[in-house]
Structure 1
Amino acid sequence: MNLRMVLGGVVASFVAVGAVHAEEKTIGLSWNSKENEIVGKWEEYLQSEAARQGKEAGIEFKFIINVADNDPTRQAANIEDLINQGVDLIIARGEDSAAIGSSIRAAKRADIPFITFDHGSTSQKPDAHVSGDSYNQAKTTAEAFVAVLKEKGVKGQCIELQGALKDVNAVNRSKAWHEVTDTSGVVTTVQSVPTEWNPEIFRSGTVNAFRANSDANCMFLASDFAISAVRSALESMDKWHPAGDPKHVYIASQDIFPEAVAAMEGGYIDVGTTFDAYDHAKEAIRVAIALIKKEDPKCGPDGCLAAGRVATPTNIDSLPNLWSRKS
């Protein structure tokens, strides 16, 4: 091989490298609604992670986004529009876990990968499901809460405010809470109150449970989205006081929504585990890239689940990428 041939090969290889450009792929993002602030943060994080991870994977992503305003029929039409526009992948937070199955089947017929996000499907298996790990979320909270009470020498007599018992996330949280606390020797759940995720039941259930259990000194909230209702109930009974006050009711919660951030900063919530919008989005894009490349996303039996982070009054101000904190 002469020098010219070698140099020619080198030049050709540089030209080939220079000619490489990112693949363009379109994600169709179907929201059931955008009433909750977390949805806006999910969308922001999905787009930022698509840019970051896409660059690493040699993919340039764009999004087509629609919103169904809590209407399953409208969401089905929205997803049909995404299919007709030829998107490369669909991410959908379904309004109805049964109805979303027809959209998954339509996407399969069009050979478009489908990811259910946060809300799963009960009627048709998607290519992947991405959500928070609700069991692990409550497990880590319960373990941290037991440690807090043990350190303070407190025997917990707790009221549990459950979610809707037809919601798998609510069931998982209750299950994990009891598996940890029932054998802890530190925490006893004296009453469990199903709330149907209704803020008014969070309020009335708190009042009624404390009236029925005068020795109760702690609570486990299946979600703190309704912390204002719980606060109203506790204030009416002179039980809303920060840690260190003799009248303090110890509170363990889930999610760390915006009002809960303030309550934790003030010492009213002792421990909780985040419903981590950033990690959900990060995982969704990782899975999307794997599916687009026709690779196994390596999800577990319940999907690709993102664990939350334990938050306390001492670390709430320093947790990075906490969607619910204003600063």
Structure 2
Amino acid sequence: MNKFKMLASVAVLTLGLSNIVSAQDTIALTISTLDNPFFVSLRDGAQEKADELGYKLVILDSQNDPAKELANVEDLIVRGAKILLINPTDSEAVGNAVAIANRNNIPVITLDRGSNKGKVVSHIASDNVAGGKMAGDFIAEKLGDGAKVIQLEGIAGTSAARERGEGFKQSVTAHKFDLLASQPADFDRTKGLNVMENLLASKGDVQAVFAQNDEMALGALRAIKSANKNVLLVGFDGTDDGIKAVKSGKLAATIAQQPELIGRFGVETAVKVLKGEKVKEKIPVDLKVITQ
């Protein structure tokens, strides 16, 4: 009898191990850049969820280069990825990578930034349009209608930059802001500093700046301090550095995304797709205004 019990236990154990092994389908994730703290947090959230659910997650950094992104996707397909999570470098250029995955019958889920081409089973992101409007409404709340404002834009061609700009434009119209300038600084801190320095030289009467991410906001902050100006500065993303700057009174606010949650939702959605479950085409992640 003991022998039979032992055999039954072994059978159950083997079945359990079999289930674990079958769950080890490879989920692939390409990140636009790991030089940005926001995307590091997104990666970490995805990794935590993959570990929790028992799935292997392979992550590659595209270094803000669409050609590198395309090569990464080709590499991941060769390595046997069953599903692809893409945080695009550029919403237009990523269409080539999505097309390759489509041809190989590998489902694609986009994170934070969308793809303008190809078949994507789900897009997981904050409501960037709502976030841009929230930033403008916050400025109006502090300075009133008709304020003189500048916008620092993200990377041209990304859905995040386009949508945040669209939302901010709604506020500019609603609150009759005087938009002195709207220029790209590519979501980069150093470029935020350089662009803001140049703008302050010609638009010195600016009252508020909306930067489409915290990195540009922190760069702009240095330029504003160096110029000894008093300017209301609003960022976007709610990164650790951005929130610290808000709490210390250096930034007025940041529109906080939850990048860890975007990463976690990405893996959760990928697992559902792998199991043959139906998923929503768009999965929103909540935003909030963080102030001192």
Given the two structures, how large is their TM-score scaled by the length of structure 1?
Answer: 0.71
Q: Equivalents in 2 of 1:38, 1:137: separation in Å?
A: 16
CA contact (8 A) 2:90 2:157 kept: no
Q: Equivalents in 2 of 1:181, 1:71: separation in Å?
A: 32
* Alignment coverage as a number of residue pairs: 273
For 2:167, the equivalent position in structure 1 comes to 176
Given the two structures, how large is their TM-score scaled by the length of structure 2?
Answer: 0.79
CA 96–169 in structure 1, closer or farther in 2 if over 3 Å, else same: closer
For 1:192, the equivalent position in structure 2 comes to 181
Q: Tell me the percent identity.
A: 20
For 1:293, the equivalent position in structure 2 comes to 275
Q: Does 1:268 align with 2:250?
A: yes
Q: Once superposed, which parts of structure 1, at least 4 consecutive aligned residues long, lie more than 6 Å away?
A: 15-18
Write 1 or 2 for the structure with the bigger share of helix.
2
Which of 204, 207, 217 does residue 217 from structure 1 map onto?
A: 207
After TM superposition, the structure 1 = structure 2 runs for residues 100-115 of structure 1, keeping only pairs within 5 Å, are: 100-115=94-109
CA 229–207 in structure 1, closer or farther in 2 if over 3 Å, else same: farther
For 2:223, the equivalent position in structure 1 comes to 233
Q: Does 1:159 align with 2:149?
A: yes
Which of 78, 82, 102 does residue 76 from structure 2 map onto?
A: 82
Instruction: For residue 126 of structure 1, give the secondary structure of its aligned residue in structure 2.
Output: coil
What amino acid is aligned across from residue 130 of structure 1 in structure 2?
I
For 2:34, the equivalent position in structure 1 comes to 34
Q: Equivalents in 2 of 1:175, 1:77: separation in Å?
A: 32
Q: Equivalents in 2 of 1:71, 1:166: separation in Å?
A: 13
What amino acid is aligned across from residue 183 of structure 2 in structure 1?
P
The gaps in structure 2 that reach 5 residues or longer are 1-7
The gaps in structure 1 that reach 5 residues or longer are 1-11, 55-59, 241-248, 314-327
Q: What are the superposed Cα offsets for residues 18-56 of structure 1, whole Å, 9 maximum, x if unpaired?
A: 95544332111223432223332222110112234x3xx
Measure how far apart 1:264 and its partner are: 1.0
What amino acid is aligned across from residue 48 of structure 1 in structure 2?
E
Specify which structure has the bigger relative contact order, considering alpha-carbon pairs within 8 angstroms and separated by 6 or more residues.
Answer: 2
What amino acid is aligned across from residue 194 of structure 1 in structure 2?
Q
CA 105–50 in structure 1, closer or farther in 2 if over 3 Å, else same: same
Larger radius of gyration: 1
CA 74–266 in structure 1, closer or farther in 2 if over 3 Å, else same: closer
